[in-house]
A and B are shown apart, each in its own frame.
Chain A
Amino acid sequence: DVKVTQSSRYLVKRTGEKVFLECVQDMDHENMFWYRQDPGLGLRLIYFSYDVKMKEKGDIPEGYSVSREKKERFSLILESASTNQTSMYLCASSPTGTDIYNEQFFGPGTRLTVL
């Protein structure tokens, strides 16, 4: 079974703090994704990565950065947390292969509250 783990289930930070959210997958997937989930807005893609050290902006990258130094690990960084970044953050991974379409496997999520 694919396992995607996230470093924290719940996190409380203060405005202006630098925040690191970590995600690790154990299935050697090439692709990794960071989403945020907000009521009424669904899942919105922040950043994704299709290879080590490669990253692409998603739909809402402002205020975030990412790091992928190893294939299994994808980090989301909030350089200076703000209250509007209070949200559920979800990490996902998927393989790249001969099959055109590959489902994404999600971690359990991190509920981040910025005070």
Chain B
Amino acid sequence: DQQVKQNSPSLSVQEGRISILNCDYTNSMFDYFLWYKKYPAEGPTFLISISSIKDKNEDGRFTVFLNKSAKHLSLHIVPSQPGDSAVYFCAASGFHGGATNKLIFGTGTLLAVQP
């Protein structure tokens, strides 16, 4: 059973416009969420995160919004650039008392930013 879902396998956006990537989760015990970006033939790299005590976190062009009641988070990229073209994974975690923090990943969304 997929606990973290990214229902859009792909998204195409014009350069300069906003990209919105969505993620839904089912486990109410998740309280920390991350977005990773992955280029082909490279490992994922951390992009931005949000704790469940917040509903928004911003870092430059990237903003993550969390709606706990809907169990939904989204990543906004404004303005989108061709170099943002990659696969984006959302991931969720629950606190395990300071021990290993397992991440549950979504299936990924391939973002293509058209020049």
Task: Judge if A74 is at the interface, Cβ distance under 8 Å.
Answer: no
Q: What mask results when residues 35 to 60 of chain A are scored 1 for a CB within 8 Å of chain B, else 0? A: 10000111111001010000010100
Task: Judge if B29 is at the interface, Cβ distance under 8 Å.
Answer: no
Contact among B34, B43, B51, B108 with A42 in the assembled complex (CB-CB below 8 Å): B108
Q: A42-B89, A42-B108 are in contact. Are A104 and B41 (CB under 8 A)?
A: no
* In the bound complex, CA of A31 to CA of B41 (Å): 23
* In the bound complex, CA of A48 to CA of B107 (Å): 20
Contact among B44, B45, B101 with A101 in the assembled complex (CB-CB below 8 Å): B101
Task: Judge if A96 is at the interface, Cβ distance under 8 Å.
Answer: yes
Task: Judge if A90 is at the interface, Cβ distance under 8 Å.
Answer: yes
Contact among A41, A50, A103, A107 with B99 in the assembled complex (CB-CB below 8 Å): A50
Task: Judge if B93 is at the interface, Cβ distance under 8 Å.
Answer: yes
Task: Judge if A102 is at the interface, Cβ distance under 8 Å.
Answer: yes
Task: Judge if A75 is at the interface, Cβ distance under 8 Å.
Answer: no
CB distance from B77 to the nearest CB of A (A): 19
Complex contact A96–B105 (CB within 8 A): no
Complex contact A43–B105 (CB within 8 A): yes
Complex contact B43–A109 (CB within 8 A): yes
Contact among A50, A100, A102, A108 with B41 in the assembled complex (CB-CB below 8 Å): A108
CB distance from A100 to the nearest CB of B (A): 5
Task: Judge if A34 is at the interface, Cβ distance under 8 Å.
Answer: no
Complex contact A105–B93 (CB within 8 A): no
Complex contact A96–B34 (CB within 8 A): no
CB distance from B80 to the nearest CB of A (A): 22
Q: Which residues of A contact B104 (CB under 8 A)?
A: 45
Q: A108-B43, A109-B43 are in contact. Are A48 and B93 (CB under 8 A)?
A: no
Residues of A at the B interface (CB closer than 8 Å) are 4, 9, 30-31, 35, 40-45, 48, 50, 56, 58, 90, 92, 94, 96-98, 100-109, 111
